[in-house]
Every structure is written in structure tokens, then in C-alpha cells.
Amino acid sequence: MHKIKNKIFIAGHNGLVGKAILKELLKKGYSRIYTISKKKLDLRSKRQVDKFLKKNKFDEIYIAAAKVGGIIYNKNYPVDFLLDNLSISINLIQGAFENKVKKILYLGSSCIYPRTTKQPIKEEYLLNSKLEPTNEAYALAKIIGLRLSSFYEQQYKNKIDIRCLMPTNLYGPNDRYDISRSHVIPALIKKFYTAKINNFKKVEILGTGNAVRDFLYVDDLAKFCVHYMNLNKKILRKNNIEFVNVGSGKGIKIKNLVKIIANIVDFKGKIFFNKNSPDGHPKKLLDISLAKKLGFHYETKLEEGIKKTYLDFIKNQ
């Protein structure tokens, strides 16, 4: 395989998305990929980020770093979510520009969209009404990162190339399996597995189960990230593309997702929905028409992806 010598930094390489991007880049033949641990580089520190970028002179940066968590964790720590994610986004985007990084990929989140909006959600629906209160802090930080990227593109068109993707709910190997802090699929896997090995008779699920979500296997996103980074910029500018939604294009009610995961884990007890807990967005299904036009392919079906994720979870117990 021909080795591609672009010097690349993956911010957030230990996270779900960062690990998948690293794997995809290696598979594609990239040979100069750089990563660094949180202990050695605090992305919330402008001084540390500037020093690191100035020293290494990267060609490309994938910004997959973020402070993330589920509904309850977002709701309980809004200051942390806003400040940490703002700092990470601003430091890396500004630092990349000041240190002449040629190309940046900024990864946001589908939570940037309003709580109630037309479905499926098109890119143009951003900021057309109020955000979902339970993850407003995280959403605001991601929106500012997105807008900052757009403003750099607008003000310094020929000096920087920033591309932005807004993924839906992601899942897959190498996720964080923590009932209180994780996103829905890894949290449910952990919850049902714990109930199974302890012979619990029932499992409580937060919310009504009626919320609708769109889930994407992380390797499918990673493939598109690398593909999107290598698209001719003229195509994006000609079509005034600020950012692109990436998802499965298929919605599922949480109650149905719960049944799938309980079946895969082989939990035989009862399932109880705590309707006093928040659902978050009532429905969040992305319109992925633009991504498809740009070469995105949804490959991994939900049940297949959850089985792979569960096997990864079991392997790492």
C-alpha cells in the first residue's frame, strides 16, 4: 500500500470517534499520524495547544475531542460541558489557523438542532427555534465551534480550509460503558449486562421510551470523515456547504431499541420505563441527503452494529 505522508493530528484519539478515525486513516495508508494523551496535552489550555501546534506543524487536524455524556450528566454539569467544549473548539480552530494547518475537520453533534423542528432535520434548520434544555450547554459549545469554523472560512477564505460534519448518535467498539455518563446504547448494554449477571428481576429505563433517535455505527462515520476531508474544496464552496449531517437516515423509538439490546444481551427480566425522567429531544432524525450526494454510504445495520459493540464490551470486561 502506498503510504500517504500528510502529517495528521487526531485530537481525541482515545474516544469513540477518534479511535475509529485513527483506524480508518491507517487502513487508507496514512503513515504520519500523531496522537497525544490528556495528561501530556490539556486541550482546554490555549498556551499548551499553541505550543504543541507550533512545534509539530501539522498538515491536517481531525477535531474529535469533546467532553460528552448522556442526558442526566449533561443536565447536572452544564458549566463543565459549556466551558470545556468551548475551550477545546476555540483553542484548536484558532491554533490551527495561527500555525498554518492546511486542513481541519470539525466534528459537532446533532444536538445542535432545536428541540422541536421539522423531521427529518435539514442543515438549514439550525437555530430556527429553542434548543433542548437537557443538553443546551453542550449544543451551544458545538454551535459556536461550527460558527467559528464558518467565520474563519468567510474571513480568511484562501488561508484556511475547515470542514464540518454533524453526526447523529454514535455507537460502536471502544465506547465508554458507564450507566450514569454514557450515551444511550453503551449505557443500556452496561445496564442489561449488569442486571443479567446479577440475576436482577427488572431493569429501569429513564424516560417514556417514546423518543425517536437515529443511530450510526462509528466506523461508517470514520470512513466518511476521511472521504470528506479529501473532497475537492471547490465542490464544497461552489455549493455553499457550511456543514453536513451524517446519520443512518432511519429513526427508532427508544423502547424498540431497548428490546433489541435486551435481546442481544439475553436479559430475561422485566423492563420498566420511568416516565418521570426526561426524554430529551422528542424526535431527532437527520436528513442525510447532502451527505449521500457527497459520497456517504450507510453500511452497518443497527442490530448488526449493536452485536459487534456488545462483543467488544464482553471482550474488555
pLDDT tens string 96-132: 999 999 999 999 999 999 998 999 999 999 999 999 9
* pLDDT tens for each residue of 210-237: 999 999 999 999 999 999 999 999 999 8
Torsion of CA 231, 229, 176, 201, to 10 degrees: -10
Percent of the chain residues topping a pLDDT of 90: 87
Measured between alpha carbons, how far is residue 198 from residues 30, 130, 314 in Å? Answer: 45, 42, 15
- Is the model's pLDDT at 181 over the cut of 90? no
Higher pLDDT, 194 or 179: 194
**Confidence class of residue 73 from pLDDT cuts 50, 70 and 90?**
confident
In this prediction, residue 2 carries a pLDDT of 60
φ, ψ for residue 274, nearest 5 deg: -85, 95
The pLDDT value given to residue 178: 78
The residue from 106, 113, 138, 228 that is catalytic is 138
125 is catalytic: no
Question: In the chain, how long is the greatest CA-to-CA distance?
Answer: 62
With a CB cutoff of 8 Å and minimum separation 6, the contacts of 111 are 131, 132, 135, 138, 139, 142, 281, 284
pLDDT at 1 over 70: no
Res 160 pLDDT > 80: yes
Note whether 167 and 248 are within 8 A (CB): no
**pLDDT grade for 183, boundaries at 50, 70 and 90:** confident
CA distance 85 to 1: 37
pTM for the structure as a whole: 0.95
Weakest mean pLDDT among 10-19, 80-89, 151-160: 151-160
CATH code: domain 4-315 is: 3.40.50.720
